[in-house]
Amino acid sequence: MTETLLPQTGVTVTPLTTNAGAEIGGVDASGPLDDTTVAAIRAALLKHKVIFLRDQDLDYTAQAAFAQRFGTLTLGHPIYEAPEGRPNLREMDSKQGTRANHWHTDLTFIERPPAFAFLHSKVIPPVGGDTVWANAATAYRSMPPELRDFADRLRIVHSNDCDFTDDTVIERGHYISTAFEAEHPAVRVHPETGERSLLLGGFARRVVGYGPEASRDIIRMLQGYLTRPEHNVRWQWRVGDIAIWDNQSTAHYAIYDYGNQYRRGERLTVVAPVPVGVDGRPSEALRGDTTSYSAGRD
């Protein structure tokens, strides 16, 4: 892929595939960035859905300052407590049993899943531990017109009590001790680009108006388009990498192929508007109160 130098910024953008992912150069996320540079990074993120910055040395304060240039930060997580003194941080730590080897869009069991996520790699196993992202907008466009029309009219209930937690959360009892459910459109309209994309993943439980078996079949069928390799990009981490993804138009899968080796990253997320479907109808919370999480703090 050809590297592009964005005028007046010194920022380079090198696409990794035609459908998803780009590596960003010429940016030191630990220092002050002018508005033009931030706008260029944001434009690359919206276009490529997930972007990567190598060799970034940031502590919590610097990472928070960088992420805040893209919006108000959420709290660390609606279920887990954040580390003391770092209220916006979610530690993704394999020693704590945290892994996400299941296709998902972050926190879709709440009414307002975050807009953007910033994951800073701190410890990487010697082999394995890659992450794969899928472009949910490209996946939607790849579907036959009749199937897109069908999906446009669907609503899906997402829950924290789901197959995702069965497979990937060791302390499952704590994770589901408070129930969270939200009803989302199966196809959401991006608030900045206007693109339509599939809103699915491991938290999706049932399709409104359909029984359990039909719901599983519909979700599985739509998910099959999302996870096609053609719509994906795979990133091989190095310590210091930052991955930034548009949680409003992607799903991802953290590959658990590193055994008992240690893996840790630090994630911050940015507040998003409530998702809206093709018909203009917004998502809604069914169970659980995440007001404080989504309000975040500046």
> Would you name the residues annotated as active-site residues?
104, 106, 252, 267
Beta pairing, strands 50-53 & 22-25: parallel
| Backbone phi and psi for residue 102, each to the nearest 5 degrees, phi listed first | -160, 140
What the block records as the tokens of 263 is 């893996």
Q: Which residue has the tokens 């500046």?
A: 298
Q: Give the 3-state secondary structure of residue 130.
A: coil
DSSP state, residue 89: -
Q: Which residue has the tokens 């920022």?
A: 11
84 by Cβ neighbours in 10 Å (0-12 / 13-18 / 19+) ranks as exposed
Handedness of CA 92, 65, 283, 231 (dihedral sign): negative
Q: Which residue has the tokens 């916006």?
A: 88
**Distance between CA atoms of 136 and 272, rounded to whole angstroms?**
17
Q: Distances from the Cα of 12 to the Cαs of 4, 15, 22, 41, in angstroms? A: 5, 10, 10, 9
Q: Which of 146, 153, 184, 135 is nearest to 283 (CA)?
A: 184
**C-alpha radius of gyration, the chain, whole number:** 18
**Distance between CA atoms of 67 and 77, rounded to whole angstroms?**
16
Q: For the chain, where are the alpha helices, taking DSSP H only? A: 35-48, 60-68, 136-142, 145-152, 163-168, 172-175, 212-226, 291-295
